[in-house]
């Protein structure tokens, strides 16, 4: 799996047209990105359709495709057996694939017994429809319970966790990251740029950039909590650190996330090849102890 991955939430199949989406995906592949992440829920399934069309022209054995199940779709909702089976088949059709490399439980489902979810995921592995399964936004205890159940019952255990993680959202450091390391799960983090805020595109008092998530009705609610006086002050302190290193603020934020040995990959979102160029370069940035100390002071 590549250190930088490409996601598709609020981009492919929606705000970015198909031709541009495929161009972005192909540019990412050319730069060494091999993991592409999507979900059945994104744009009502259209994101999977676009990702599938883009991947159709790339070597199948050189890319890893991840998609997710949980949120409401035409076949239902949750992680119950019937919905997971139906939605896996629907995702395979939209993606035009014969198997999914990583099938992820998009959220914890309190309405389904954990064993039912673990068994249906194992059944999908045994049937060859998925290679591995993972979770997203589960707590450390929920992850540990799933692994223990699978080991006890002889089922395929989850292989990955996909939590949100950035300079501005560090909650997983206390329990989730240590649990994943202890249990051997890979960690593929999303929102490493805090919905684009850590690129520096939003500035105190400025009008929100056209086309940004801050002006998208579907994304604004995710961006707004970050647009605080404290965040803008931290960004002002981070900018000279990035400048001294000769990198962009966004590259600094991505390199900081990737500093953790538990983090396997960071998922970026992009609407243009230029954005992919900038973000992919962060994989080559190494932050020394002095830079990390300066960042901690800047973050307060």
Cβ within 8 Å of residue 268, ≥6 positions away:
4, 5, 6, 7, 192, 193, 254, 275, 276, 279
- Say if residues 49 and 20 touch (Cβ distance below 8 Å): no
Alpha carbon 153 to chain centroid distance?
29
Alpha carbon 283 to chain centroid distance?
16
Report the run of H or E that residue 289 belongs to, with start and end: helix 289-299
Is 42 known to be catalytic? yes
Place of tokens 């560090």: 170
Angle at 68 between CA 62 and CA 72, to 5 degrees: 150
Q: Which of 29, 42, 103, 165 is catalytic?
A: 42
Known catalytic residues are 42
């Amino acid at each position: 799996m590549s250190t930088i991955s490409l996601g598709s939430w609020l981009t492919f199949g929606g705000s970015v047209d198909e031709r541009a989406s495929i161009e972005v995906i192909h540019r990412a592949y050319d730069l060494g990105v091999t993991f592409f992440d999507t979900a059945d829920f994104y744009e009502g399934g259209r994101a999977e359709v676009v990702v599938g069309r883009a991947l159709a022209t790339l070597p199948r054995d050189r890319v890893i495709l991840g998609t997710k199940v949980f949120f409401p779709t035409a076949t239902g909702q949750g992680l119950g057996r019937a919905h997971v089976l139906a939605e896996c088949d629907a995702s395979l059709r939209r993606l035009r694939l014969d198997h999914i490399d990583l099938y992820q439980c998009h959220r914890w489902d309190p309405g389904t017994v954990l064993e039912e979810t673990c068994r249906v995921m194992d059944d999908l592995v045994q049937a060859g429809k998925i290679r591995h399964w993972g979770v997203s936004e589960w707590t450390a205890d929920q992850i540990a319970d799933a692994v223990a159940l699978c080991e006890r019952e002889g089922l395929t255990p989850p292989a990955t966790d996909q939590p949100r993680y950035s300079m501005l959202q560090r909650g997983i450091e206390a329990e989730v990251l240590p649990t994943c390391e202890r249990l051997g799960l890979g960690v593929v983090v999303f929102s490493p740029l805090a919905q684009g805020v850590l690129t520096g595109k939003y500035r105190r008092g400025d009008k929100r950039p056209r086309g940004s998530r801050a002006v998208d009705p579907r994304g604004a609610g995710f961006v707004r909590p970050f647009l605080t006086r404290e965040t803008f002050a931290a960004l002002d302190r981070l900018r000279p650190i990035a400048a001294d290193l000769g990198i962009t603020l966004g590259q600094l934020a991505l390199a900081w996330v990737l500093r953790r040995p538990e983090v396997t990959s960071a998922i970026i979102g992009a609407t243009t090849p230029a954005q992919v160029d900038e973000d992919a370069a962060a994989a080559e940035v190494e932050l020394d102890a002095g830079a990390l100390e300066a960042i901690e002071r800047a973050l307060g």
